[in-house]
Amino acid sequence: MKKSSELVRLQKFISEAGVASRRKAEELIAAGLVTVNGETVREMGIKINPAIDVVEVDGSMVDCSTVEKVYVVLNKPKAVMTTADDPEGRETVMDFCKEISQRIYPVGRLDYHSEGLLILTNDGDLAYKITHPKFEIEKVYEVKVFGIVSDELLRKIKSGIISQGEKLKPKSVRIIKKLENKTWLEFRLIEGKNREIRRICENLGLTIDKLKRVAIEGLSIGKISLGRFQTFTKRKMLDLLNMNEDGSRRKSDKTFVSAKRTVKAVKDKDRERKFEKGVSADDEKFVKYRKENYKDTIQKHKEYAENEKIKEELQKKIEREEALKEHRRRSKAKAERKEKRKQNMNSMPRKNSKKKK
């Protein structure tokens, strides 16, 4: 009889072998692509003994003992898919890690329009501990929104919202920089639900211009250039994540500390008295810059620019024609004056140069 301590869940075993993430492993099981000892398994939660049972995924045997664990931190650029493969042929994060020979997978979500720190690894167990809310791994984001964030609007962001039946509430939010008509915010999240920051901002009428993840616990993007990556050992990764092997938090706190100071929010009463200039971040005028409207907005700006160029060229043409008309008018007037003087000269009686004797 197998001891329970020897058993491990099938999807966990597959993810730890670097075949796929735990979520993807569940999809492979449901699709009937996984066999245990020659028998197809579709049931979730089944446990196996890695020392005895033979597991195959899509006809290939899985062996955890031969897999070298790899830990990569990528500074993901914007307009790149966080996936191992994209059916539409768009650029993915894997295109930036071609030097890594092992099969690795992105940990967690960082959507197409976002950039910044992304962990990729074939260590499914660690990936699970980073992404599952029960381990309370803190993730830090810097978000630039259109408009001015007032103290009242900041309080609303901190209080969170209800979206699609679930509570979305950041651990903390603060203003780190104010521009003429944009504001930089720092969000800290624990749960990291799907599109959490974007959903909060959209619900409160804010339009995001830029979103980047700068840290996960004490692991920061640091000096890694956009589109570049850096490899870490598991020991170093756990140390920066402030995590023990079992996923529990260490006593030493190595949470990311930003060098950017907190900036005071604009008070609503000051805005009413017009002491503070700028448009509020929840103003509807910024909706046109959201990603779902962005293409139309850019097209309208392009059409506007083209129309303005046509108008400018037309105006220049009119000015040239007017200048030519004015030149012709002056030339004609000059010629007429010259002709008139000539006529006057001819009509005058000539004086004899010699006197009659």
Q: Which residues are catalytic?
A: 111
- Taking a C-beta distance cutoff of 8 angstroms, is the pair 97, 120 a contact? yes
Q: What are phi and psi of 148, to 5 degrees?
A: -100, 130
Alpha helices (runs of H) in 114-248, residue ranges in sequence order: 124-131, 151-159, 196-203, 234-240
The DSSP secondary structure of 264-283, one letter per residue, reads PPBPHHHHHTTSS-S-BTT-
Within 10 A of 271 (CB to CB), how many other CB atoms are there?
A: 18
Query: Strand 208-216 to strand 219-220: parallel, antiparallel, or no bridges (unpaired)?
Result: antiparallel
Q: Measuring CA to CA, how many Å separate 61 from each of 8, 44, 57, 123, 151? A: 17, 19, 6, 18, 58
DSSP state letter for 150: B
Tokens 């660690």 — which residue?
Answer: 126
Give 201's contacts (C-beta < 8 A, 6+ positions apart): 143, 145, 157, 207, 208
Element (H, E) at 166: strand 166-168
Tokens of 141: 């984001």
**Alpha-carbon distance 59 to 177, whole Å?**
54
Give 94's contacts (C-beta < 8 A, 6+ positions apart): 83, 84, 85
- Taking a C-beta distance cutoff of 8 angstroms, is the pair 224, 119 a contact? no
Look up residue 184 and give its amino acid: W
**Alpha-carbon distance 268 to 75, whole Å?**
37
